[in-house]
Amino acid sequence: MSEIFNWNARIYYEDTDAGGIVFYANYLKFFERARTEWLRAAGVSQQQMSQEHQLMFVVKSTAVEYHSPARLDDELRLTVVVEKLGRASVQFIQEAWCGERLLTTGKIKVGCVGVESLRPAPIPGVILASISV
Amino acid sequence: MSEIFNWNARIYYEDTDAGGIVFYANYLKFFERARTEWLRAAGVSQQQMSQEHQLMFVVKSTAVEYHSPARLDDELRLTVVVEKLGRASVQFIQEAWCGERLLTTGKIKVGCVGVESLRPAPIPGVILASISV
Amino acid sequence: MSEIFNWNARIYYEDTDAGGIVFYANYLKFFERARTEWLRAAGVSQQQMSQEHQLMFVVKSTAVEYHSPARLDDELRLTVVVEKLGRASVQFIQEAWCGERLLTTGKIKVGCVGVESLRPAPIPGVILASISV
Amino acid sequence: MSEIFNWNARIYYEDTDAGGIVFYANYLKFFERARTEWLRAAGVSQQQMSQEHQLMFVVKSTAVEYHSPARLDDELRLTVVVEKLGRASVQFIQEAWCGERLLTTGKIKVGCVGVESLRPAPIPGVILASISV
């Protein structure tokens, strides 16, 4: 089990809906921002990955539970934990917190694929080394 | 097990991302459009539900598997099946198809809550009657 | 001045914000859906344009005035009028209506560019012929 | 003419489209993030404004010119300048930069309205004082 990576996201009007709360689909965006910054912190850029290796990560499955809502102006803390690191896929456990309140938990599986073919491909060794702790 | 409700959605630039395919989080939007039209077809409007009953449906959990990507200009067929109808919640099985190709499957659970309190509340009888087949 | 093309769009939760109304940036999406369907009605597909001609339309400028808000469940009627058809650009006047109520007016300029270079390029004759009335 | 306020935004997949660049409508979101943070830096929270004064800012008009595209992983610098401060409205000039490259310029007019009525209302004195320089 890897350590926890944290990333913050502020809630703007764009993130909310007429229910007065954050639109649930947007937690997938927040989780991705956190995963992207986790990758970047490990020295991996997705632009580079696509240009140098002709590879990209695509999301294979998402399972999200919504416990408590967030509202305009809230500042969310998003967590990233690698649950399982495969040869061609990574499985994450992620949470969204507002202060001491747990808002959302997610289990996100991403796969490494060819940019053109969209076929599964092994994660390049140099990237695997960067994201293994 | 209820019958299958179908709703179509066209893919525009707004739905895609730099991977050249539909951004995965957007399937939650497409699934919701289909559920909303399924509700409307049953004679239930969410504006009415909020104004007359001070109630709304909120999403409690989503589990989505991404099998195959959609692209610009594709026309998707979205399905809605009620898997389980509770007193204060509904569980749906949904799929996204492009022609004969299954793109995405989802299991979406929504709960009925008070507009102000966001606390679980029984689905009004008149609405329950409309959506039970 | 060309004739008016109409396209409808339903308002879902995804389109609204915590102000209880449609998020203003989303009118740009609705306008684009209408322009895309106007193109399609003229026999032009953007996927084709990108694959056969290595060209795409990009938005160069948008000017939108917001007169009256739309809400959940509203059905909008979007209009498309070609104001000016250039060699490498098209200028549109667009409106969003809800029943007899004018919601939004927009002036949108799009340019034809190379898919890779993003440099301005003449609109192919076959497409120009299709969209000239 | 007020001084320039700056706010940064990173580009994620959610912001891009199948053209490989940032979807133009999203600059309206980035501009709003910057205006919101400019307000917050002046000590004004929109949640407070809505709860204490039953008022909110709504966008009345937007005029945006797109000069140069942004891509995945780019970090944008967004600027906020108050062009004109009225009794019930504020007019902003905003720009988006990527390094030394000017991407987008916008002229955004927002109006102060009642949360329920959506009718124009004077900006409260305490808020006007905070945002006047």
B51 CB-contact burial (10 Å; exposed 0-12 / middle 13-18 / buried 19+): exposed
Which residues in chain D touch residue C34, judged by CB atoms under 8 angstroms apart?
none
DSSP secondary structure, chain D, as one string: -PPPEEEEEE--GGGB-TTSSB-TTHHHHHHHHHHHHHHHHTT--HHHHHHHHSEEEEEEEEEEEE-S---TT-EEEEEEEEEEE-SSEEEEEEEEEETTEEEEEEEEEEEEEETTT--B-PPPHHHHHHH--
What number of CA atoms fall less than 13 Å from residue D68's CA on the CB side? 11
Q: Do D17 and B18 touch (CB under 8 A)?
A: yes
Tens-place pLDDT, residues C79-133? 999 999 999 999 999 999 999 999 999 999 999 999 999 999 999 999 999 998 6
Instruction: For chains B and D, count residue pairs whose Cβ atoms are closer than 8 Å.
Output: 31
- Asked whether residue B19 carries a pLDDT value surpassing 60, the answer given is yes
Distance from C-alpha of C92 to C-alpha of B72, rounded to nearest angstrom: 22
Q: Do A66 and B56 touch (CB under 8 A)?
A: no
Whether the CB-CB separation of C17 and C92 falls below 8 Å is answered with: no
Task: Compute, in degrees rounded to 10, the torsion defined by CA atoms C31, D101, D94, A76.
Answer: 80
Which residues in chain C touch residue A74, judged by CB atoms under 8 angstroms apart?
none
Below-50 pLDDT ranges, chain D:
1
Q: Work out the average pLDDT over C75-79.
A: 98
Helix extents (H) in chain C: 26-41, 46-53, 125-131
Q: Do C36 and B71 touch (CB under 8 A)?
A: no
CA distance C87 to chain B (A): 23
Which residues in chain C touch residue B113, judged by CB atoms under 8 angstroms apart?
none
Taking chain A, what is the end-to-end CA distance rounded to the nearest angstrom? 9
Which residues in chain B touch residue C14, judged by CB atoms under 8 angstroms apart?
29, 32-33
For residue D88, list its beta bridge partners.
none
**Rg of chain A taking only CA atoms, in angstroms:** 15
Q: Which residue of chain B comes nearest to D14, CA vs CA?
A: B17
The distance of Cα C25 from the centroid of its chain, to the nearest Å, equals 13
CA distance C64 to chain D (A): 5
For residue B90, list its beta bridge partners.
B85, B110
Whether the CB-CB separation of D62 and D108 falls below 8 Å is answered with: yes
Tens-place pLDDT, residues A12-65? 999 999 999 999 999 999 999 999 999 999 999 888 899 999 999 999 999 999
Residue-averaged pLDDT of chain B: 95
Q: Say what the pTM is.
A: 0.96
The pLDDT, as a whole number, for residue C47 is: 83
ipTM of this complex: 0.95
Tens-place pLDDT, residues A62-118? 999 999 999 999 999 999 999 999 999 999 999 999 999 999 999 999 999 999 999
DSSP secondary structure, B31-99, as one string: HHHHHHHHHHHTT--HHHHHHHHSEEEEEEEEEEEE-S---TT-EEEEEEEEEEE-SSEEEEEEEEEET
- Asked whether residue B23 carries a pLDDT value surpassing 80, the answer given is yes
Residue of A27, A36, A31, D12 whose CA lies nearest to B62: A27
The pLDDT, as a whole number, for residue D48 is: 84
The pLDDT, as a whole number, for residue C3 is: 85
Q: Do C25 and D24 touch (CB under 8 A)?
A: no
Residue of D30 and B132 predicted with greater confidence: D30
Chains that touch C (3 or more CB pairs under 8 A): A, B, D
Whether the CB-CB separation of D85 and D131 falls below 8 Å is answered with: yes
Tens-place pLDDT, residues B72-119? 999 999 999 999 999 999 999 999 999 999 999 999 999 999 999 999
At position D81, the amino acid (one-letter code) is V
Distance from C-alpha of A8 to C-alpha of A56, rounded to nearest angstrom: 24
Distance from C-alpha of B87 to C-alpha of B54, rounded to nearest angstrom: 17
The pLDDT, as a whole number, for residue B48 is: 84
The token pair at D122 is 């004077």
**Strand (E) or helix (H) holding A116:** none
Residue-averaged pLDDT of chain C: 95
Q: Using CB atoms, pick whichever of D14, D71, D72 lies closest to residue B23.
A: D14
DSSP secondary structure, C88-114, as one string: SEEEEEEEEEETTEEEEEEEEEEEEEE
**Banded model confidence at residue A130, pLDDT cuts 50, 70, 90:** very high
The pLDDT, as a whole number, for residue B47 is: 83
Q: Which residue of chain C comes nearest to B40, CA vs CA?
A: C73
CA distance B3 to chain C (A): 23
The pLDDT, as a whole number, for residue A2 is: 61
**Banded model confidence at residue A1, pLDDT cuts 50, 70, 90:** very low
- Asked whether residue A124 carries a pLDDT value surpassing 60, the answer given is yes
Domains of chain C (ranges; CATH) run 5-131 (3.10.129.10)
**Banded model confidence at residue C2, pLDDT cuts 50, 70, 90:** low
Distance from C-alpha of A46 to C-alpha of A14, rounded to nearest angstrom: 25
Q: Do C13 and A14 touch (CB under 8 A)?
A: no
Q: CA angle, corner C106, sides to C58 and C85, nearest 5?
A: 55
